[in-house]
Amino acid sequence: KLEEFLNFKQLKTSFKQAVLLDYYTAGFCWAKEMNFSLMQLSGFMDLLHFLLENLSDKHITLGENLKELAKAMAGIGETDSERSGDLNFFSIEQAKAIIDYL
């Protein structure tokens, strides 16, 4: 199903597509094992895409990508809605698990 969603047509002959399918499948399976809600699962997959895009398209360093991850995760668990980021539907424990996974 993920292969269809990603619109991979050359999976058998494209190493890049095979690796990307592996990357997203592993992340999806891990998130399902964490019992993430549908919204959390979607947010986690967006985060995987964001970080990979930073590396592949923007060619930023791993260190800079970690800073981007910190920015994305900033505010999780905060009660002040101004400080909480787009990923505020994760608990602090889930955010720690995501960081460990990544």
Binning pLDDT at 50, 70 and 90, where does residue 83 land?
A: very low
Q: What is the pLDDT of residues 32-55, one digit of tens each?
A: 999 999 999 999 999 998 888 888
Positive or negative, the CA dihedral 61, 48, 12, 33 is positive
69-87: average pLDDT = 67
Distance of alpha carbon 80 from its chain centroid, rounded?
A: 24
The whole-angstrom separation of Cα 18 and Cα 11 is 6
Q: Could you tell me the residue ranges of all domains in the chain?
A: 37-101
Q: What is the pLDDT of residues 1-29, one digit of tens each?
A: 766 766 677 767 777 788 888 898 999 99
> Which tokens is 57 given?
């398209």
For the entire predicted model, the pTM comes to 0.77
| pLDDT of the residue at 56 | 84
